[in-house]
Amino acid sequence: MVMTGVPVLGVFITVLMRLQGSWAIKEEHVIIQAEFYLNPDKSGEFMFDFDGDEIFHVDLEKKETVWRLEEFGRFASFEAQGALANIAVDKANLDIMIKRSNHTPNTNVPPEVTVLPNTRVELGEPNTLICFIIKGVRKGNAAERRGPL
């Protein structure tokens, strides 16, 4: 029996993931192409990143490639039109998803806040509130503050 189409793709992806999971594929460097489009802001971003450092991004308003370091543009090139085409596809896909969701916006949920004052709070009287952050996010990872102020 010959497999074609989607099942072949599934088998291929499974094999690749198993190789990576078994550390048969080792990467020394990582290059990332990131792109997105926002609505209703009508803005987006297209950029290339190498090992966590930006190589370039495309200025969507000026329709040109902006190199992080001028030297990069001397030995490499990137046509901004390719990025603009990708952003146009992103915009079209977003419009389709918005229509499929019946234009239902996400509801904003206000954060829960608990205030524990040292003294009794009287309405209309000036109060001092001192905030201390004990847990936050640093570089995408949760970080907890340890020790005194």
The tens digit of pLDDT for each residue in 11-46 reads 666 666 665 555 556 778 888 999 989 887 888 899
**CATH architecture, range 28-100:** Roll (3.10)
**Over the stretch 93-146, which tens digit does the pLDDT of each residue have?**
999 988 888 877 777 777 777 766 777 778 888 777 766 666 555 555 555 555
Kindly tell me the number of DSSP H helices and DSSP E strands found in the chain. 3, 6
Position 98: which residue type? I
Structural domain spans, the chain: 28-100
pLDDT at 24: 58
Cα–Cα distances (Å) from 49 to 57, 105, 140, in that order, read 9, 31, 17
What backbone phi and psi angles, to 5 degrees, belong to 46?
-140, 120
* Beta strand 53-59 pairing with 64-67: antiparallel
pLDDT at 132: 63
pLDDT at 23: 58
Kindly tell me the burial class for residue 103, based on how many C-beta atoms sit within 10 Å of its own C-beta (0-12, 13-18, 19 or more). exposed
Place of tokens 């896909």: 93
Within 8 A by CB and 6+ apart from 87, the residues are 35, 37, 44, 46, 60
pLDDT at 19: 58
pLDDT at 57: 94
